[in-house]
């Protein structure tokens, strides 16, 4: 960058952050070091402290504004502190915070109905929990109980959570601790058109990748399985979009072996792909169990498993209880999120702004050699960085450098992929084209600098 290059400017936004009066950056840094788990990681060589949010923007303790293009790791669906969601949460909080499901409560009941109305007809029963890991753990239990089978197929490079059972479903050594896990779980070859054997130029790539699931069923299980787990687009693994026809072919193999199909919609649901309300619809499949978290509550601790009455019935064989699951405040948030997505046409915004964003990526890939692949759907996107476009050797250093520089320029993006070489851009679904212009200008500048 030369002295004359103007620094990109954030679009105008009418919000004055309040004066920050809490503990200093240094104090918080020290408290975090002395009293919080060393397992917690931060982004950036110099981490930032975020004290306020408004829609697609975040503010640090000095009042500096950033465009949030990762939304609390794909969790801020409709915007930070969205006024309608905040009001609905506050109203519920002022009336009743908690009772558990041992009593009737209108909010959980109405919300379950509204949520199931968004899913295909047979997926009508909701079990609320608090996190994506819990949702997937419960789906795993239901699949095994319902089918009477034990074996599960998941995908390499997938992420389904960090608790013991979902660490087994997850398939990245970086997330798997060195202790016993993954019993009965088999990981199929990932359907990754960039790094896998069959690419976008192969019209049969979907069925070819799916054949590995059939092979695993034949070779690694008794031939009967409990189920198949997949994110509808891989998130943590680096925004990987499967080839057309992949899930359709896999679901056929799974169902023939007596298994149920589980769609992890933790990152892809609620219109984010623009093409459809649910990520699985972009692959023309209908799952038997759907797991939801993150964007479902726009930051409220809320997650859900949605399934058929028959599958849901298996949990009634014993007592199953979750203290916070279906909490009225979280459910008020979830219901408000559904309303906002519809009222503000956010799925359409994801489609339109996502197309605009992808056009911006096309300009970037044309001028920056480090970009090996651009991909995604709607506002669920990724930019994979490589040292060499032919060898596709991952470039995590470039990713780290660009990540740090974009922060300095006022843009917060995520990173992911097994090699930490993918920029993950999955902003709140309310971002505008002006925000995208800023984002592309910042990325362009960050890539240009050495």
Which stretches of the chain bind ligand PMP, using CB under 6 A?
73, 131-133, 136, 159-161, 231, 235-236, 264, 266-267, 293
Cα 75 to chain centroid distance, Å, stands at: 7
Using the minimum distance from each CB to ligand PMP, give the nearer residue, 116 or 131.
131
Kindly state the tokens that stand for 353: 């702004």
CB atoms within 10 A of CB 137: 22
Nearer to ligand PMP, 176 or 224 (CB): 176
- Looking at the Cβ atoms of 17 and 161, the one nearer to ligand PMP is 161
Looking at the DSSP bridge assignments, the partners of residue 155 are 188
- Choose between 236 and 374: whose C-beta lies nearer to ligand PMP: 236
- Give me the least distance between CB of 135 and ligand PMP, in Å please: 7
The least CB distance from residue 163 to ligand PMP, in Å, is: 7
In the complex, least distance from residue 330 CB atom to ligand PMP, rounded to whole angstroms: 13
CB of 132 to ligand PMP, least distance (A): 2
Select 295 or 360, whichever has its Cβ closest to ligand PMP: 295
Which residue has the CB atom at the shortest distance from ligand PMP? Answer: 132
3-state helix, strand, coil in the chain (%, to 5): 40, 15, 45
Cβ closer to ligand PMP: 154 or 217? Answer: 154
Q: Which is nearer to ligand PMP, 265 or 435 (CB)?
A: 265
Least spacing, CB of residue 260 vs ligand PMP, in Å: 17
Residue 68 or 264: the one with the smaller Cβ distance to ligand PMP is 264
- Among left, alpha and beta (phi > 0; psi -120 to 50; other), residue 233 is beta
Is residue 406 within 8 Å of 383, Cβ to Cβ?
no
Do 402 and 364 form a contact (C-beta atoms < 8 A)? no
Task: State CA 287 to chain mean position distance.
Answer: 18
The residue (of 233 and 370) whose beta carbon lies closer to ligand PMP is: 233
Smaller CB separation from ligand PMP, 217 or 331: 331
User: C-beta of 227: minimal distance to ligand PMP in Å?
Assistant: 15
Question: How many residues make up the chain in this entry?
Answer: 450
Least separation in angstroms between residue 294's CB and ligand PMP is 6
CA distance 325 to 127: 8
- State the Cα–Cα distance between residues 16 and 54, nearest whole angstrom: 10
Using alpha carbons, list the distances in angstroms from residue 380 to 39, 165, 359, 377, 415.
Answer: 27, 26, 14, 5, 13
Q: Could you tell me the smallest distance in angstroms from the CB atom of residue 301 to ligand PMP?
A: 8
| Distance of closest approach, residue 75 Cβ to ligand PMP, in angstroms | 8
DSSP one-letter string for 282-348 = GGT---SEEEE-GGGGTTSS-EEEEE-HHHHGGGGGS----SSTT-HHHHHHHHHHHHHHHHTTHHH
H or E segment and range at residue 157: none
CA nearest neighbour of 112 among 287, 312, 271? 312
The H-or-E segment that residue 64 falls in is none
CB of 131 to ligand PMP, least distance (A): 4
Shortest reach from residue 193's CB to ligand PMP, in Å: 19
The residue among 214 and 233 lying less far from ligand PMP, judged by its C-beta, is 233
Report how far apart, in Å, the C-alpha atoms of 1 and of each of 4, 5, 366 are: 8, 6, 19
Determine contact, residues 70/414, Cβ cutoff 8 Å. yes
If the CB atoms of residues 131 and 406 are measured against ligand PMP, the closer one turns out to be 131
Task: Say which residues have a Cβ less than 8 Å from residue 182's Cβ, sequence separation at least 6.
Answer: 167, 168, 169, 176
- Strands 414-416, 65-68: pairing kind: unpaired
Residue 14 belongs to what H/E stretch?
none
- Least distance in Å: CB of 269 to ligand PMP? 10
């Amino acid at each position: 960058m030369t002295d004359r290059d103007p620094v990109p400017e954030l679009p105008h936004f009418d919000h004055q952050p309040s004066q920050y009066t809490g503990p200093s950056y240094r104090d918080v840094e020290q408290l975090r070091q002395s009293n919080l788990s060393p397992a917690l990681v931060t982004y950036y060589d110099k981490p930032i402290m975020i004290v306020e949010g408004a829609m697609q923007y975040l503010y640090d303790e000095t009042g500096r504004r950033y465009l949030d293009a990762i939304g609390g790791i794909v969790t801020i669906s409709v915007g930070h502190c969205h006024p309608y969601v905040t009001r609905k949460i506050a109203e519920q909080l002022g009336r009743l915070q908690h009772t558990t499901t041992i009593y009737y409560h209108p909010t959980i009941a109405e919300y379950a109905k509204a949520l199931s109305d968004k899913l295909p007809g047979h997926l009508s029963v909701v079990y609320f929990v608090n996190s994506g890991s819990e949702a997937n753990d419960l789906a795993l239990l239901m699949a095994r109980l319902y089918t009477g089978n034990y074996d599960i197929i998941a995908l390499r490079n997938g992420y389904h959570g960090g608790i013991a059972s979902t660490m087994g479903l997850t398939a990245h050594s970086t997330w798997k601790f060195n202790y016993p896990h993954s019993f009965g779980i088999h990981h199929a070859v990932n359907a990754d058109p960039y790094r896998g054997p069959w690419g976008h130029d192969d019209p049969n790539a979907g069925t070819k990748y799916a054949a590995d699931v059939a092979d695993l069923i034949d070779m690694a299980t008794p031939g009967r399985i409990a189920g198949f787990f997949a994110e509808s687009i891989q998130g943590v693994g680096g925004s990987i979009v499967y080839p057309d026809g992949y899930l359709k072919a896999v679901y056929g193999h799974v169902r023939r072996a007596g298994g149920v199909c589980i769609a992890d919609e933790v990152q892809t649901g609620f219109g984010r792909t623009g093409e459809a309300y649910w990520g699985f619809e972009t692959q023309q499949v209908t799952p038997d169990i759907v797991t939801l978290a993150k964007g479902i509550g726009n930051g409220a601790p809320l997650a859900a498993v949605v399934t058929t009455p028959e599958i849901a019935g298996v949990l009634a064989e014993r007592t199953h209880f979750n203290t916070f699951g279906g909490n009225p405040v979280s459910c008020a948030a979830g219901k408000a999120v559904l309303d906002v997505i519809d009222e503000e046409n956010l799925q359409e915004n994801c489609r339109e702004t996502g197309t605009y964003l992808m056009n911006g990526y096309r300009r970037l890939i044309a001028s920056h050699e480090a970009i090996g692949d651009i991909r995604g759907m709607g506002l669920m996107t990724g930019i994979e960085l490589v040292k060499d476009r032919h060898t596709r050797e991952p470039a995590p250093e470039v990713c780290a450098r660009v990540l740090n520089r974009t922060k300095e320029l006022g843009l917060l993006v995520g990173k992911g992929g097994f090699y930490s070489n993918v920029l993950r851009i999955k902003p709140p679904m309310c971002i505008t084209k002006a925000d995208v212009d800023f984002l592309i200008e910042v990325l362009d500048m960050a890539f240009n600098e050495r």
